Amino acid sequence: MNRDSVSSSLLASVGYDSDEQVLEVELQDGKVYQYIDIPERTYRDLLDADSLGRYFNQHIRGHSYVRIR
């Protein structure tokens, strides 16, 4: 999945597969996770958030995920 770099102290890059509703995030420490069953609206809200890290922690972390790297 292609990810785009983001400006965040927590997240390095973010990508989204709308067909599968999978959000892929790379943390600043290099770990990569895929979060399952994330609505596209949540992905868009993440990108629009004033603080991506805060939004991620409040609305995405805790959902089902698979660690990729």
> pLDDT tens digits, residue range 25-61?
999 999 999 999 999 999 999 999 999 999 999 999 9
What is 7-28 written as a DSSP string?
--SSEEEEEEETTTTEEEEEET
The pLDDT, as a whole number, for residue 15 is 98
pTM of the model: 0.94
By CB atoms closer than 10 A (0-12, 13-18, 19+), residue 65 is middle
Average pLDDT over residues 11-22: 98
The pLDDT, as a whole number, for residue 47 is 97
The pLDDT, as a whole number, for residue 25 is 98
